[in-house]
Amino acid sequence: MASTGNFELICLENPLLDIQAVGNEALLEKYGLKANDAILAEDKHLDLYEDLLQNYDAKLIAGGAAQNTARGAQYILPPNSAVFIGSVGKDKYSETLKETCAKAGLRVEYRYDDKLPTGRCGVVITGHNRSMCTDLSAANAYQIDHLKSEAVWSLVQQAKVFYVGGYHLTVCVPAILALAEEAAASNKIFMLSLSAPFICQFFKDPLDQTAPYWDYVIGNETEALAYAESHGLNTTDIKEIATALAKLPKKNTARPRTVIITQGTDPTIVAVQKPDGSVETKEYPVHAISESEINDTNGAGDAFAGGFVAGIVQGKNLDTAVDMGQWLAKLSIKELGPSYPFPKQSY
């Protein structure tokens, strides 16, 4: 029998159902959306979801960035390796999410909200761009009491790696800090994704509160640039930004910090803190993919993080973990939305 995991990996963020369709300029304009963006829905966006379903042949796909990452990591890891935590409603959407995760072998520990519906993310695809507009609903009601409940906290204590989606900084900072503190106190690994430019711009203070705990921080080039701007770094050079992030003060000095910045089809930049305080940067080319193989790039970053974190859970070296991220991102780009191919491929 194949060996099984021991739920080494805990991921925390917003479980969402993606309502994804190919759209057009007129649709983006109607709701005031940018072609490539991720935002929180305001009142003016709330008709988008029905519009996508009624008029654009939208598909319902399991989403939520860190939930995609958790499914991706579990895709690679032995059974029973990953747990995903977040808040949903008591409705058919959360049933769908649960089923999709179960099929992927991902254990979920959802908090069920009595009143609010499961969160939705409208995804409008135009060419290789995707505009995401999220109505968090129940996902926004996550509470630290759930994390600290005996059943969930015992999983936290047993785990070795924590991966928190930065989008959760809009939801429950105390829960993020509880995982961060647990990691620092027990020399476990704490990873955070920057998630979206708006997190770096408008959630700067909570983001900065988590910074001392980052053993790994993952983002893309637009998030790195937003970080640099909101933190007055006075540079648009990705290596310089990654270096600055690597040098930020760190709580657990037993682990060096590693910063990973993906750049679409351009090489991934990695910056690693050295014991003498200097920072080494490296570049890793992505796995080539032909135009005809691209289905859509929604979720590619989540898939990269899933492959990478699987490598870290398995104790692989940095070069291999980055390569595992590039590999899983390529597989996901060939699928519709943030999904992974079945039958399973192995790295």
Query: Which string of x and - marks every residue 65-84 that binds ligand 26A (by CB under 6 A)?
Result: x--x----------------
Binding flag, residue 338, ligand 26A (CB under 6 A): yes
Catalytic, 302? Answer yes
Residue length, the chain? 347
22 CB contacts (<8 Å, ≥6 apart)? 56, 125, 126
Rounded to whole angstroms, the maximal C-alpha distance in the chain is 59
Binding flag, residue 223, ligand 26A (CB under 6 A): no
Binding flag, residue 40, ligand 26A (CB under 6 A): yes
Strand partners, 259: 217, 271
Catalytic option among 113, 215, 296, 302 = 302
The residue range among 218-226, 286-294, 298-306, 322-330 that interacts with ligand 26A, by the rule CB under 6 A, is 298-306
Residue with tokens 């008709």: 47
How far is residue 136 from each of residues 18, 144, 166, 319, measured CA to CA in Å?
Answer: 11, 17, 14, 36
Q: Is 262 within 8 Å of 297 (Cβ atoms)?
A: no
What is the Cα–Cα distance from 22 to 3, expressed in whole angstroms?
A: 41
Binding flag, residue 298, ligand 26A (CB under 6 A): yes
Residue 48: CA atoms inside 13 Å, Cβ hemisphere, count? 31
What is the Cα–Cα distance from 64 to 18, expressed in whole angstroms?
A: 8
**Strands 258-263 vs 266-273: parallel, antiparallel or unpaired:** antiparallel
Binding flag, residue 136, ligand 26A (CB under 6 A): yes
CB of 53: closest distance to ligand 26A in angstroms? Answer: 16
Binding flag, residue 13, ligand 26A (CB under 6 A): yes
Binding flag, residue 170, ligand 26A (CB under 6 A): yes
Binding flag, residue 302, ligand 26A (CB under 6 A): yes
What is the Cα–Cα distance from 302 to 307, expressed in whole angstroms?
A: 9
Binding flag, residue 197, ligand 26A (CB under 6 A): no
**Between the CA atoms of 55, 60, 63 and 64, what dihedral angle is there, to the nearest 10 degrees?**
60
| Number of chain residues interacting with ligand 26A (CB under 6 A) | 22
CB of 130: closest distance to ligand 26A in angstroms? Answer: 7
CB of 252: closest distance to ligand 26A in angstroms? Answer: 26
User: Residue 343: is the preceding peptide bond cis (ω within 30°)?
Assistant: yes
Q: Which of 121, 200, 305, 312 binds ligand 26A (CB under 6 A)?
A: 121
CB of 136: closest distance to ligand 26A in angstroms? Answer: 6
Binding flag, residue 38, ligand 26A (CB under 6 A): yes
> Amino acid letter at 92?
K
Binding flag, residue 311, ligand 26A (CB under 6 A): no
What six digits make up the tokens of 25?
A: 């300029």
Residues in region 147-166 near ligand 26A by CB under 6 A: 165
Cβ neighbour number for residue 14 with a 10 Å cutoff: 28
The residue range among 48-56, 75-83, 130-138, 185-193 that interacts with ligand 26A, by the rule CB under 6 A, is 130-138
Q: Is 48 within 8 Å of 132 (Cβ atoms)?
A: no
Binding flag, residue 86, ligand 26A (CB under 6 A): no
Binding flag, residue 134, ligand 26A (CB under 6 A): yes
Instruction: Identify which of residues 243 and 339 has a Cβ nearer to ligand 26A in the complex.
Output: 339
Q: Is 50 within 8 Å of 286 (Cβ atoms)?
A: no
Q: Please state the φ and ψ torsions of residue 6, each to the nearest 5 degrees.
A: -125, 35
Cβ-closest position to ligand 26A: 63
The residue range among 58-66, 272-280, 289-297, 321-329 that interacts with ligand 26A, by the rule CB under 6 A, is 58-66
Instruction: Identify which of residues 22 and 233 has a Cβ nearer to ligand 26A in the complex.
Output: 22
CB of 142: closest distance to ligand 26A in angstroms? Answer: 11
- DSSP H/E element including 85: strand 82-89
Give the residue numbers annotated as catalytic, written as ranges.
302
Question: Which residues bind to ligand 26A, rule: CB under 6 A?
Answer: 13-14, 16, 18, 38, 40, 63-65, 68, 121, 132, 134, 136, 165, 167, 170, 298-299, 301-302, 338
